[in-house]
Structure 1
Amino acid sequence: MDQARSQFLRILIDDVQRALDRTASTDTQSDRRNLLRTIISAAEGASWIYRVHVLSVAQQFDVATPQIEMAFAEASFSVSGSGEIVEQARYIPLTAMIRLTTNVAQSFCPGADVDFGDAGWQKLRIGIAARNRITHPKNDNDLILSDAEIEAAKAGFFWFLDISANVMEKTVKAYSELVADLKQLGQELQSGDPEALELYRRVHQGQGE
């Protein structure tokens, strides 16, 4: 992770820690709502780092299709009556984006396993649903957050941090192995290795078809 993204993530986690400290001190419903919003906001920021990382590595493996890139950018395009290309924003729910990012990672790094049957995933979904409820309340009860909802949001957030870091670590390793293979192939080509030359020829024939 580059320095800018690392700093961004640090700010998000610091915000969560401050909100946790405030809630531990007074624990009013207002504090709980602030904590929940902060947690899910941090999860959204971490998801952005996750997707940008996975997309950048997917591009190196040549598996990032235009459809994937548009989905990650949460955008689609149409053509106006005057022939202008118009970009349209397309909101993708946080849970769907996490699943998409993980699927893309697994397309070039099969070892990047994530158990979406884990309790942590379910707790993250509970936290998101509660955040959505307090963001668009219909009555007083919608603003009340239970102990279980707060604990679920906390557990789900830290579960996501853990699995996303694990997937990113594995994709970095897969990319390092790809680079090593390419270096080895280059050395074999330079030495005139028959098998390497045949592989190079087949690859370029496939690209030309």
Structure 2
Amino acid sequence: MSDLKEEDDIKELIILAFTDVDSAFKLLGAEDNQYNRRCYIRTVFAAVEALTYVLKQKCLDRPDINRNIYTEAEIALLKEESYTLNNRAEAVSRNNFLPTADNFRFALNMYMRNSTGYKLDLSDGGWELFNKALKIRHRIVHPKATVDFMIPDRDLEIVIKGYSWFNWVVVGALLHMVEYQDGMLKQLNNIKA
């Protein structure tokens, strides 16, 4: 796939994921029932996983990836790969499942690696809400009883607030990156002058 095609595909993935969340939220607002609540929650975490994937792909596409910006272990995790031996004692890669919350945190930290002064703030309660929301998602995706399918108002509020925190974190990180790159461009322009 060409770089331009890959870039278009990544943009389309993000647009579809976040448009789906918006549509699911509107559907929930129009008709608040258990089915629409579950759809909204599943859609939220599909968007979280899509954005996490995109952040990791952007890291792997960096022109400076070969200048030791990431360790071999970090590159393997960015690729979601691990290694083992097959039955002929040959090294082979295999897909590596990474827990959603840790995977997002790792992807964001790797994406922001060269952006001086950025640190993901986990102390404001948002990270805790995000993890609670993720547990609610796991409960409805892997139900063991009928009650696991039910989404009370409190759980829905947790998911909405956890997703809001996620969005603010991503927007804040991207704004920080823009400011960082703007500062770097100014420094380059001063060197040229």
- Same fold judged by TM-score > 0.5? yes
Matched, 1:24 2:19: no
Matched, 1:50 2:58: no
The code of the aligned residue for 2:144 comes to K
Deviates more, 1:105-114 or 1:44-53: 105-114
* SS of residue in 1 equivalent to 2:70: coil
How much has 1:151 moved relative to structure 2? 1.8
Percentage of identical aligned residues: 21
TM-score normalised over the length of structure 2: 0.80
Matched, 1:102 2:100: no
Sort the Cα spacing of 1:22 and 1:161 in 2 relative to 1 into closer, same or farther, 3 A.
same
More contact order relative to length (CA 8 Å, sep ≥ 6)? 1
The code of the aligned residue for 1:139 comes to A
Sort the Cα spacing of 1:18 and 1:68 in 2 relative to 1 into closer, same or farther, 3 A.
same
* CA distance, structure 1, for counterparts of residue 119 and residue 24 of structure 2: 31
Q: Indicate the structure (1 or 2) with the bigger Cα radius of gyration.
A: 1
| 1:85-129: CA deviation from partner (whole Å, max 9, x where unpaired) | 311221111110122123334542232222112222222111110
Contact 2:55 2:111 in 1 (8 A): no
* CA distance, structure 1, for counterparts of residue 92 and residue 77 of structure 2: 16
CA RMSD of superposed structures (Å)? 2.8
Query: Could you tell me which residue of structure 2 aligns to residue 168 of structure 1?
Result: 174
How much has 1:61 moved relative to structure 2? 6.2
The code of the aligned residue for 2:157 comes to E
Matched, 1:138 2:128: no
Equivalent in 15, 23, 38 of residue 20 of structure 2: 15
Sort the Cα spacing of 1:102 and 1:14 in 2 relative to 1 into closer, same or farther, 3 A.
closer
Contact 1:50 1:164 in 2 (8 A): no
Query: Could you tell me which residue of structure 2 aligns to residue 125 of structure 1?
Result: 131
What number of residue pairs does the alignment pair up? 186
Sort the Cα spacing of 1:161 and 1:151 in 2 relative to 1 into closer, same or farther, 3 A.
same
